[in-house]
Amino acid sequence: MIEKEFIDILSKENVDIKLDEEMKSHTSFRIGGKADCFCSVKDVGSLRNVIMLCREKNVPYFILGLGSNILVSDKGIDGLVIKLEGEFNEITLAEDNIVRCGAGSTLARLCNFARNMSLGGLEFAWGIPGSVGGAIYMNAGAYDGEIKDVAFSVDYMDKDGSIKRVRDAELDFGYRHSFFTDTDNIILRASFRLIPRSQDTITEKMQELMDRRKTKQPINHPSAGSVFKRPETGYAAALIEECGLKGYEYGGAQVSPKHAGFIVNDNGASAQDVLGLIDHIKKEVKEKKNVELCCEVRFIGRV
Ligand SMILES: Cc1cc2nc3c(=O)[nH]c(=O)nc-3n(C[C@H](O)[C@H](O)[C@H](O)COP(=O)(O)OP(=O)(O)OC[C@H]3O[C@@H](n4cnc5c(N)ncnc54)[C@H](O)[C@@H]3O)c2cc1C
């Protein structure tokens, strides 16, 4: 429950505010209850004031990217959901072969910008439906590339509102992990070191990877991509398929008949349905294959 005084102070910032916002409109799963308050923040100064206000008034906040790697609780989210817009969408060619991009931009815009500048290196990211902030946070990757191969410097705001920079090895990139994982730090913008390449070559690679996605993944169905991290042995999708779970349904949630690593919401699934299906998959894979699956998708909100 958010007090009126909090909303009154918040409204003075460079923000758009929505109360009781349905989170299913902001997640690729099309699942999620209401957030007490949803706020699009347009500039760094406002972001700092919003964070400070939340801390002063003890209001929890969550930074949302494009919602393509989260499962939001049916009971919604306490406090404030913050989305980075306005200046956080800016992309610039900083110096030769280096592109700086705001955390709120989609990866798709960044990929297109790089191609227009005849800069390669981001082709792998074409088709990952996230924001630049979410991609840095998760060290998103696909096929032959990962964010860690191209991102070398990230500006962020810490929980006290100070702006800091992490570079190179300090970014601590690992498999679906970065310096930012499970911290309160807010990614503001990132710099990418790219390689001169012809636009035709870049387009060809992007098209090839998109075609592979379309063939293998249920990209036209609501999902959050691969639900589980790659285990130490084998692939989650193969293990799930070998357990006979392809197409298995639990409430409105289903193990995708096209790619067993994906759970799709084809029939008005609730977050509880997805969690129930995740539990079932984990139990079966443990029993039949003796492998412990870990979730890549993050559960957000009230338990
Ligand atoms: C069809 C489909 C295909 C996919 N394919 C791939 C794939 O090939 N490879 C891959 O790696 N992933 C894939 N994903 C998963 C997802 O797109 C990526 O993990 C993506 O990087 C998440 O970005 P997002 O902006 O949607 O983050 P969100 O889901 O909004 O958030 C994820 C986490 O990042 C944090 N976060 C977001 N922005 C910021 C910020 N500015 N500062 C601090 N924290 C932040 C959030 O708080 C949250 O904890 C796929 C998903 C779908 C639906």
- The pLDDT score that the predictor gives to residue 107 is 98
Question: Ligand 1, from 28, 68, 188: best to mutate by most atoms within 8 Å of Cβ?
Answer: 68
CA dihedral defined by 128, 125, 65, 301, rounded to 10 degrees? 50
Residue 227 burial by Cβ neighbours in a 10 Å radius (0-12, 13-18, 19+): buried
**Token pair belonging to 295:** 């979730």
pTM of the model: 0.97
- The pLDDT score that the predictor gives to residue 96 is 84
- The pLDDT score that the predictor gives to residue 144 is 84
Q: Are 137 and 143 in contact (CB under 8 A)?
A: no
290 alpha carbon – ligand 1 mean position (Å)? 29
| 94: containing domain | 90-216
- Select from 35, 31, 50, 33 the least CA-distant residue to 88: 50
Same domain, residue pair 66 and 119: no
Same domain, residue pair 244 and 262: yes
- The pLDDT score that the predictor gives to residue 33 is 98
User: Quick check: CB of 86 below 6 Å from ligand 1?
Assistant: no
- The pLDDT score that the predictor gives to residue 95 is 83
Measured from the CA of 70, which atom of ligand 1 is nearest?
A: 29
The helix/strand/coil state of 228 is strand
CA distances from 29 to 199, 248, 252, 268, 270 (A): 33, 17, 12, 10, 10
CA distances from 65 to 84, 93, 129, 200 (A): 8, 23, 10, 30
- The pLDDT score that the predictor gives to residue 233 is 87
Number of domains in the chain: 3
The CATH number given to whatever domain includes residue 176 is 3.30.465.10
pLDDT along the chain (303 residues), means of 10: 93 96 98 98 98 97 98 98 98 94 98 98 98 98 96 97 98 97 97 98 98 97 97 95 98 98 96 98 97 97 97
- The pLDDT score that the predictor gives to residue 1 is 79
